[in-house]
Amino acid sequence: MNYQIREEAGFRYVDEGQGEVLLLLHGLFGALSNWDSVITTFSDRYRVIIPMLPIYEMPIRQASLEGLIAFIEKFVAQKDLTDMTLLGNSLGGHLALLYAFKKPDQVRRLVLTGSSGLFENGMGGSFPKRGSYDYIAERVAYTFYDPKVASKELIDEVFEITSSIPKCMSIVGIAKSAQRNNVAKDLYQIQVPTLLVWGLNDTITPAEVGHEFNRLIADSELHFIDKCCHAPMMECPDQFNALLESWLVRHPVTELAV
């Protein structure tokens, strides 16, 4: 999809459509393109905003969940966003939860898919392994039920990232920060409607993680997509968007504000 990547005050982001704000947060190796189908499907009646998280550009000392939350706070303030629906995949889901804990007055709904924060299988002890294209291709494919979703373009992008020592150090810092930050004890604070969409074949955050989020978040609704792994919005966009559409209609922000 062709959409404009905007630049303002040091931020790079997508801002398409008008209406209620859907703020989309990508994962550790994510990109704006992860959410292409959501932009296409929803930007005719929602304002779809995706900030490019500075995962690879952060100074090593700031490479943490706290650093990323500070970045999101600044972005939200810069764009003067309110009454947001936060959508997060993988690390992005973890960040959405932390933001909702910190700024509950700004978040009206949550959508988590393959979210970290409770338990996840990383890329193994050698992660990120530098210099081996075949290894990177194998690990990227591991993220998807159908390995063909792992396009050469996507593998090349991840290989380029992991070939950079500073970028690897940032990734490791953020990954370790995420592993240390277990949100189980804080999920009682989430009082907004929450949609959980999980790949039934998720190898990174397995199905039981979705069940545990569902158990710990009061007003949550869990759906599984079969033959789908860690990125439902990329692997099964039609099913993901249908679930999201139905849920958004059933939980309108105007009604929640009453």
> Per-domain residue ranges for the chain?
5-120+182-257
Reported confidence tier of residue 28, pLDDT bands at 50, 70, 90? confident
Both structure tokens of 97? 């939860």
Mean pLDDT of 201-205: 95
Q: Residue 32: pLDDT band by 50, 70, 90 thresholds? A: confident
Q: For the structural domain made of 5-120+182-257, what CATH number should be given?
A: 3.40.50.1820
Name the average pLDDT for the chain. Answer: 92
* 39-97 per-position pLDDT tens digit: 999 999 999 999 999 998 888 888 999 999 999 999 999 999 999 999 999 999 999 99
Mean per-residue pLDDT, 180-185: 95
Give the residue carrying structure tokens 């005719």: 44
pLDDT classification of 34: cutoffs 50, 70, 90: confident
Give pLDDT, residue 61: 86
pLDDT tens track for 246-255: 999 999 987 6
